């Protein structure tokens, strides 16, 4: 399908950061054919015209770290100390392939409604999740979790390796889905299995993702056993390279940052989830100054309670201005870069997505400026970072295919996804409420 | 009008923090007549029934500090250093009574849509603003600014005092509007005029609000001239009491906190605006531990870029958990208290609003749980703090009067308010863009 969007403010996010206040973007098939001002329209007379209504058109947002199978955990014991080990890990025994897929389908609806077009996932049953994501039409890197204890999709420790060995070749070459292997963390995998995952990723030429330097007890664990930081430890295993996506990297020192830069590792920074769990604020300014590639992520719906990248833009600006004691640090345009072109580059997709330029895939998000919170617009970057919410997203396209138009999802609606998820959650919900009652020592959490 | 809302989760925010998962709230005239479970409905057979659709019913949110006249400034030079003195103060010369009123009417639409029912304002032309707020049906404390230079509504310094002398008696006794006087700051008023404002507030028995301990240069200014902190200085003037609403209080020491507690001062904490301008995180945990009364505010739309208290709930939890390095600090229910019953108590309205209890004014906000971001609901407080957005607000009542139903404003719509504001902004916009060009030294900010 060929179409054009005009009467729109286009933030191209190209190298020159060109901005067209009365722009026009032409889409042919799955790609952007032309970008220009309003006059461009006349050169494409037969194309369907979408009126941007003075909204803001940006490259689809990239969510660089999440766990789409975890919608059933959201709002459960949020303020509970050591929540991961006391609540989340035990409850994951109640996860099934069907529930993970239903959660993923729901999460895709939520992300599309929030203007996300590409995401990086780490969870169990990733093959079932891939089917759901494919049906939703989103672009994704999907990583099968490897962990050193039996999990919901493996009776043996590190069973994710065998799962990935079947999962990766099945999806290799798919236009939208990139299969991956995802060792859970430096303290939840043996060194041998981390190396094995790395070799597998290399064999198939796919990325690999892992939680890195997120938890204080993770740092202690590696320091006690290896006498170094998690990042130095991973580097000693020779697994860090440009295909490595390291989630979090909160507790890092300057040597760690130099390693990340030297190896070309992509950092998926999840400010919302990190702040909610009081883990600290990753030194992103120093990372960028030293040349580390940084993208932003929401973390899973159990951790950050949202899959919405607009929330992250706002939180990122506020936390990093405060951490650097400088209101001019990270001006809004730079924050938008981190969720679009910089994220695409970090994930190795910089030649395909992340900016609105002829030849790139037509992954586009149209944000309306009709709503109360979106007026006035002196600076559209400012409006996106400090004012816009997921609810302002009007239309979303992935590879030229419309996934939402006029705030209505195309394809399976949210209602259907929610009915399916809610019905599939009955056993999980009972297990959750019972465990929470035990932990909190009272009837209700 | 008499009505009841049922099929709803009621968070009463009463002293016992009672929560009714299948509750019913009955409203008679401007007040809450009864609160109970679903069975209550049968006792009020003739009352209009509003189906809460399993949403969450809370006391209307309180925004304890804003500047509703400043919508025209939003998204203007956000990341500019020393923005207040370089951009905002000079541009205020272009403000008029008509523009302030149009902005206030727009701001009321935006706040109602975000579930706010009561707010505390400080700006110029407050009489014109009061007319707009009255028409919108919101509850508000409206403070006329006093500042030591000529302003948009006064040719002489401190002209706000004469303005307030006419404004306060005009609105005294109004059911919804409480008129006030509002000295701008400790460094922007002479001590004599601060005392004069305090005496005026006392004479009329109305509150008074002021920016306190917000800016580093404010602290320097007072230290150089008075050899003390702004709060110690205000205390030496004997102007601090239970009618004093101190906005910000970021840069405070333990002695300051003790003064605030001893005098019964209410602190309006604006985490979003404070973080965006990198001013720091006020030590709210210590304030509460020492008995200071704290409420939350958005600050003006130029500063925080939003009038939405849901944003503040989320930011508050994340910034203060991080500042205290404790994920269990400020559990969600406690954060909701700060924007409802604790705020009402801080403003001296604890016997009238802030909780859902028989006899209180029917200021109510119904938040839907249909949308993608609002599922599942294990803990409704968690959902309100970590997931809910202004866009999830379904219905809003002030004193029993519906201001929004089914996400549609009642009375003047947003479209009309926006047309009026936008038309009134023509001169302001030219002045703004010209000043911004001068400051940034390029054609566009």
> For residue range B311-362, what is the model confidence (pLDDT) as tens digits?
999 999 999 999 999 999 999 999 999 999 999 999 999 999 999 999 999 9
- Residue linked to tokens 């703090």: B385
pLDDT at B80: 87
CB nearest to B327's CB, from A76, A79, A328: A79
Same domain, A106 and A187: yes
- CATH number for A298: 3.20.20.140
- What whole-number percentage of chain B has pLDDT above 70? 99
pLDDT at B68: 98
pLDDT at A194: 98
> Of A324, A346, A368, at which residue does a domain stop?
A346
How many angstroms separate the CA atoms of B322 and B144, rounded? 36
Same domain, A289 and A336: yes
Cα dihedral B113, B114, B116, B119 sign: negative
When the pLDDT of each residue in chain B is averaged and rounded to a whole number, the result is: 96
pLDDT surpasses 50 at A305: yes
Same domain, A47 and A146: no
pLDDT surpasses 70 at B29: yes
Nearest CA in chain A to B276: A318
When the pLDDT of each residue in chain A is averaged and rounded to a whole number, the result is: 96
Q: Which two tokens stand for residue B363?
A: 């200021």
Nearest CA in chain A to B386: A305
- CATH number for A403: 2.30.40.10
Smallest CA–CA distance, residue B126 to chain A, in Å, is 22
Query: What confidence tens digit (pLDDT) does each residue in A220-263 have?
Result: 999 999 999 999 999 999 999 999 999 999 999 999 999 999 99
Q: Residue B431 domain-assigned?
A: no
Smallest CA–CA distance, residue B45 to chain A, in Å, is 33
Same domain, B307 and B288: yes
Residue closest to A66 by CA, chosen among A114, A5, A28, A135:
A114
Q: Do B321 and A277 touch (CB under 8 A)?
A: yes
- What whole-number percentage of chain A has pLDDT above 90? 94
Tell me the average pLDDT across B99-122. Answer: 98
Q: Do B75 and A280 touch (CB under 8 A)?
A: no
What are the chain A neighbours of B383 within 8 Å (beta carbons)? Answer: 75
Same domain, A230 and A124: yes
| Complex-level ipTM beyond the 0.90 threshold | yes
Same domain, B337 and B265: yes
Q: Do B436 and A378 touch (CB under 8 A)?
A: yes
Q: Residue A249 domain-assigned?
A: yes
- How many domains are there within chain A? 2
> Of B346, B378, B398, at which residue does a domain stop?
B346
pLDDT at A444: 39
Q: Residue A435 domain-assigned?
A: no
Same domain, A384 and A337: no
What are the chain A neighbours of B328 within 8 Å (beta carbons)? Answer: 79-81
Tell me the average pLDDT across B260-274. Answer: 98
Same domain, B119 and B94: yes
Q: Cis before residue B148, ω within 30 degrees of 0?
A: no
Q: Do A376 and B418 touch (CB under 8 A)?
A: no
Same domain, B50 and B65: no
The answer to whether the predicted template modeling score (pTM) of the entire model surpasses 0.80 is yes
Nearest CA in chain A to B112: A372
Q: Residue B166 domain-assigned?
A: yes
Same domain, A302 and A392: no
Q: Residue B291 domain-assigned?
A: yes
The beta-strand segments (E) located in A199-239 are 208-212
pLDDT surpasses 70 at B150: yes
Q: Residue B418 domain-assigned?
A: no
Q: Do A387 and B329 touch (CB under 8 A)?
A: no
Cβ-contact B354, B341 below 8 angstroms? yes
Helix (H, G, I), strand (E, B) or coil at A438: helix
Q: Residue B436 domain-assigned?
A: no
Q: Which two tokens stand for residue B93?
A: 């010369």
Query: What confidence tens digit (pLDDT) does each residue in A309-322 have?
Result: 999 999 999 999 99
Query: What confidence tens digit (pLDDT) does each residue in B228-240 have?
Result: 999 999 999 999 9
pLDDT at B443: 40
DSSP B227-269: SS-HHHHHHHTT--STTEEEEE--S--HHHHHHHHHHTPEEEE
pLDDT at B412: 79
Q: Do B75 and A326 touch (CB under 8 A)?
A: no
Segments forming the whole domain that contains residue B180 = 61-346
Tell me the average pLDDT across B194-206. Answer: 98
Q: Distance of alpha carbon B354 from its chain centroid, rounded?
A: 13
Tell me the average pLDDT across A324-352. Answer: 98
Smallest CA–CA distance, residue A204 to chain B, in Å, is 36
Nearest CA in chain B to A81: B328
Same domain, B147 and B24: no
Q: Do A321 and B113 touch (CB under 8 A)?
A: no
Smallest CA–CA distance, residue B47 to chain A, in Å, is 31
- How far apart, in Å, are the Cα atoms of B397 and each of B58, B117, B137, B141? 11, 7, 9, 18
Tell me the average pLDDT across A114-126. Answer: 98
Q: Do B276 and A386 touch (CB under 8 A)?
A: yes
Same domain, B223 and B307: yes
Query: What confidence tens digit (pLDDT) does each residue in B1-17 have?
Result: 899 999 999 999 999 99
Nearest CA in chain B to A382: B75
Report the greatest alpha carbon distance in chain B.
69
pLDDT at B441: 66
What are the chain A neighbours of B439 within 8 Å (beta carbons)? Answer: none
Helix (H, G, I), strand (E, B) or coil at A408: strand
Q: Residue A440 domain-assigned?
A: no
Q: Cis before residue A376, ω within 30 degrees of 0?
A: yes
Q: Do A391 and B389 touch (CB under 8 A)?
A: yes
pLDDT surpasses 90 at A439: no
Least confident window among A54-68, A157-171, B269-283, B411-425:
B411-425
Q: Do B275 and A436 touch (CB under 8 A)?
A: no
Q: Do B280 and A80 touch (CB under 8 A)?
A: no
């Amino acid at each position: 399908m060929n179409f054009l969007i005009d009467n729109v403010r286009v933030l191209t996010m190209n190298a020159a950061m060109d901005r067209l206040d009365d722009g026009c973007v032409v889409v042919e098939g799955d790609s952007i054919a032309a970008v220009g001002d309003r006059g461009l329209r006349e050169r494409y007379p037969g194309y369907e015209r979408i009126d941007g209504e003075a909204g803001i058109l940006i490259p689809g947002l990239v969510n660089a770290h999440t766990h789409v199978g975890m919608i059933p955990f959201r709002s459960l014991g949020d303020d509970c100390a050591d929540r991961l080990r006391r609540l989340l890990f035990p409850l994951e025994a109640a996860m099934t392939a069907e529930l993970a897929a239903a959660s993923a389908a729901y999460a895709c609806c939520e992300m599309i409604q929030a203007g996300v077009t590409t995401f990086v996932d780490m969870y169990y049953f990733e093959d079932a999740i891939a089917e759901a994501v494919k049906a939703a039409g989103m672009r994704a890197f999907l990583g099968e979790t490897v962990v050193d204890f039996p999990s919901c999709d493996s009776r043996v420790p590190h069973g994710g390796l065998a799962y990935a060995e079947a999962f990766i070749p099945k999806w290799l070459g798919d236009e939208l889905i990139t299969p991956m292997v995802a060792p859970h963390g430096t303290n939840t995998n043996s060194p041998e299995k981390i190396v094995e995952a790395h070799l597998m990723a290399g064999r198939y030429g796919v990325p690999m993702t892992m939680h890195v330097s997120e938890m204080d007890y993770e740092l202690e664990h590696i320091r006690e056993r290896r006498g170094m930081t998690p990042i130095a430890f991973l580097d000693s295993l020779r697994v860090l390279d440009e295909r490595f996506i390291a989630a979090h990297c909160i507790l890092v020192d300057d040597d760690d940052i130099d390693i990340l830069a030297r190896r070309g590792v992509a950092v998926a920074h999840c400010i919302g989830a990190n702040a909610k769990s009081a883990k600290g604020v990753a030194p992103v300014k120093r990372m960028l100054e030293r040349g580390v590639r940084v993208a932003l992520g929401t973390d899973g719906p159990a951790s950050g309670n949202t899959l919405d990248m607009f929330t992250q833009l706002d939180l990122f600006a506020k936390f990093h201005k405060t951490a650097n004691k400088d209101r001019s640090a990270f001006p809004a345009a730079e924050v938008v870069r981190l969720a679009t072109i910089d994220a695409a580059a970090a994930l190795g997709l910089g030649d395909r997505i992340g900016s609105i330029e002829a030849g790139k895939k037509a992954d586009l998000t149209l944000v309306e400026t009709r709503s109360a919170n979106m007026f006035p617009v002196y600076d559209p970057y400012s409006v996106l970072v400090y004012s816009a919410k997921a609810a302002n997203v009007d239309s979303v396209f992935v590879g030229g295919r419309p996934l939402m138009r006029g705030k209505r999802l195309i394809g399976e609606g949210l209602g259907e996804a929610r009915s399916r998820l809610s019905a599939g959650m009955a056993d999980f919900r009972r297990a959750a409420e019972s465990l929470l009652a035990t932990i909190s020592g009272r009837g209700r959490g």
